[in-house]
Amino acid sequence: MNILSIFDKTNYQPLNAIYISKDNLVRNYQYIKSLNPSLELFPVLKSNAYGHGILEIGSIVDRFNCKYICVDSIFEAYQLLKAKVKTPILIMGYVHPDNLSIKKLPFSYAVWSEDQVEGILRHQPKANLHLFVDTGMHREGVRYDELESFANNVDKYKDSFEGIMSHYASADDLDSGQNKFQSAEFLRSIEILEKYGFKFEYKHISATAGILNNLNDQINTARLGIGLYGIDPSGQRENLRPVLKLSSTIVQVKKLRRGESVGYNATFTAEKDMVLGILPMGYNDGIDRRLSGKGVVKVKDRYIDFVGRISMNLSAIDLTDLEDVSVGEEVLIFSDNPDDLNSIEKASELCGTIPYDLLVKLNPQIKRLVY
């Protein structure tokens, strides 16, 4: 018997767990779909589904009957394929063509160079391609002023292109003139390529912020990422519900005497006798080290402070003002209520970063439980 199989049994009780709300995920998708019913939505499951768990989320969105699920890598695509997810998969990141030579694969690919096109179609001649155009973000993509040369050089492959895509740099900022510029560049790019005989079924430049801020004029498809998980970069939070909450378990309750310190470098010294709770979770698991000394958790529905430095696998919290707390008590690290002080959004503000940053760092080894 494989010892690792023990951890898949239903009676295994993890000390740390991530809870995924299927209802909230479905509700978020339906809400965003309702904003523009004619807009085709591609759920994005890259980076372990933004930390939520690619297999758990994949099994849910597979029932949405979407045209595509988007991932970043061939590894992520293989994970979904092995899990028998039926929705077609679009790989948005770079794939080395040699990795496609082993067997026929059912994936589609984003491309931005002639070498990519030739390499992919050499090994996967029936693959569908989505051309990534650089409209102003200046990361990956064919530059606008190089489109005609590109079109000429891949002319014999043009029937393999079913999509064209780009990405807004400032979709969460309605006052940014860059949005209009990129939209115009994208539409002009489509016009140029259509003159060369390209026919695109899917045209997508928006992610969540672009959808919520209605930047999709004349564009029929969008990639739904962070909004699917209930995080809103555009300020319409009341209509989205976070999908994830993270919990841990107190594994020791201990006294801290006045004048004693806790954690690395003695950054916290007790000014009075205290009671500490020790958690088997640290920055290896996804509690950002920047929350040391200023983040909070919830115990018995009360906010409790982190004290001292968050360590790799352990953290300490202040239980002094709580009664009847013992080993085994559940601790809510990240709440799924966006108004809570320990929500992902509030925690990311304390860290001076964005919710994506905290979510994708949640350790994939933490058990995900869908409810």
Task: Give catalytic status of residue 264 as yes or no.
Answer: yes
Would you call 294 exposed, middle or buried from its count of C-beta atoms within 10 A (0-12, 13-18, 19+)?
A: exposed
3-state helix, strand and coil shares in percent for the chain, rounded to the nearest 5: 35, 25, 45
Q: Which residue has the tokens 């064209």?
A: 164
Three-class DSSP category at 105: coil
Whole-number Å distance between alpha carbons of 149 and 103:
32
* Residue 364 to residues 47, 155, 331, Cα–Cα distance (Å): 10, 42, 19
Q: Out of 264, 283, 356, 371, which one is annotated catalytic? A: 264
Closest among 171, 179, 172, 117 to 142, alpha carbons compared:
117
Q: How far apart are the first and last CA of the chain?
A: 29
Nearest to 56 by CA among 229, 176, 172, 264: 229
The residue length of the chain stands at: 371
Long-range contacts of 266-273 (CB under 8 A, 24+ apart): 267/292, 267/293, 267/308, 267/309, 268/293, 268/307, 268/308, 268/309, 272/320, 273/320
Contacts of 201 (CB under 8 A, 6+ apart): 162, 163
Packed helices 54-61 and 22-35: angle between N→C axes, nearest 10 degrees: 60
Which residues on neighbouring strands pair with residue 164, listed in sequence order? Answer: 131, 203
Catalytic residue IDs:
264
